[in-house]
Chains A and B, each alone.
Chain A
């Protein structure tokens, strides 16, 4: 990696590593309010249009401690960790919280935050999760309007359609730039490792959007196309709500693989869909919500037109991936429910895959390496046989 690229990436890496420090700095600098937002469907543009900093709350790097007993041990690492962060007071940097997602484990964790910080605004809007029902578009629009009203109350003033339209344009531009990098990786550019791709997305979830876009442009300007080498090409799939540990991504690539695409939440899922600019902004945000699932189907939603497994196979074909690693957050129910459908389809298409569960408390790197190496070996052998 060139020096220019390394220095362009450095500030984003710093934010990805310590999002809280960025939020504190931003508040000191601007005097503005920070909104803690939960994954995966809150329309962050609204909070931005209100002058606040919307931050997708990240899993912290610290081990869980004093908050360990606030949720049972069989909850996903993300939810247990945010309960722990609440108990430690680490979420005090936020002036309010917004959630649009009905995952039962997430609601449990969010309720822990509510009980730890009862004085903070904590709004939950139940977006319709069954997406193909007749009343869904109207219900989604109603809920988006409710978010708008609540954020306006939180920020202390109305949000004008012009402000919302400007925020939408800003966020679209940021997504577009990130999508270009993902498309380049899919097409064969190996300029960024998967850890670096994660830094780009994670920092976007935290930083002021204009600032992030400017930093991203610098990264793009400093980057040079690097053709793929002959490492085994992999697609990473799954991992909702938070980012897989960077050391896990590193271990996968160190085994002799190169990640060529993903449908991770802290990856291409997050940036998949833009908000339309040719209709009223509230309608546009409602449509964005419905279209996201069509773009990259998500098992936390119910719809019958598109299937995640078909999307996965299409992505694998498009990127030339030779295998898939399904990264499953341990105890993540929507993913556990959907996994057999993925497995069935990958097997039917002869695409080798490996299921790996992740937890908050560290990555057993040796075990990861052994399993990834076995997958790579399987892929190489299959390629030999078929050639």
Chain B
């Protein structure tokens, strides 16, 4: 449930679901998001779900903080709705040219490169949210042995398709973008396709992702 609603500026609602970042809290955020999407409350411009928050921006010409807060507090949430649990396989190539930060990871974590890959590929990841750039999935949780902070100086350009890890999370750069995550590989899959208006993103919140290691030859074959 929402723990607290406050205002974010004069045209935003900040719904806080609690401090923890875990599947239970996040599933609640996603359920609220889906129910509100269906309810279609007049004046809402955007619903932005994240790990443990839901930010709602609205049109001040149509509603205001007080009345929208009241509506959100009284909206019926389908708590028993089963979230989509699609399992998506993402092929990843860890060639030297793709695995930009494996050396740094290996040194900082004091772990052999192959041990890092083995750990990474032997896990399943839950999609908490998508965003920052179009279609980018935020997935978790990494095994504690391979958690590391962001780069001290973020890269100006992270190549499209890069698989990044930081702390308990892993993500996929759906397009070239600045970023500070530790890059360990690259996928030939198109994670975001703007020509598919109904479902442009390959991975949605609630989905499970499994990474599969592929060779450079397989990568080249799969790449468009």
Q: Do A and B come from one complex?
A: no
Residues in chain B within 8 A of chain A (CB atoms): none
A residues engaging B (CB < 8 A)?
none
